[in-house]
Amino acid sequence: MSLRPPGQYANPGKTHDGLGLLDYEIAAEKAAALGRAGERVERSLAELSAFEGNADDRVVVLKRAAEAVYGYFIQRELCGMRRHQDVIREYQIPNEVLVRLGAK
């Protein structure tokens, strides 16, 4: 959460419309939600790579990772970012997760 002075104090003598402030708040919330989604991806992929149980339990962990990545991709698209190739490379998202998304 960011803290900033009310608009009337930020630029004395200048009036602000409510729409500009609303756009600012919406953009801030989109960015925060994208960050949270990215953290979920990191946690779920770390859990998947560290998993050493049986195949049936791995399916559950794999599904959780795929859901986290899917949510992250959706949030990125809501922010106007359509290309995911850089993110796939950066997070090193395994093919077995991407296949569950229909991406490969």
Total residue length of the chain: 104
pLDDT for res 6: 59
Q: Where does 1-104 have alpha helices with state H?
A: 7-10, 18-50, 55-78, 85-91, 95-101
Cα 27 to Cα 21: distance, rounded to the nearest angstrom: 10
For residue 102, what pLDDT is reported? 85
Distance CA 8, CA 94 (A): 50
Instruction: Quote the pLDDT of residue 5.
Output: 60
- How does pLDDT run along the chain (104 residues), one tens digit per residue? 556 665 555 555 555 566 688 888 988 999 999 999 999 999 999 999 999 989 899 999 999 999 999 999 999 998 899 999 999 999 999 999 999 998 65
Burial class (CB in 10 A: 0-12, 13-18, 19+), 56: exposed
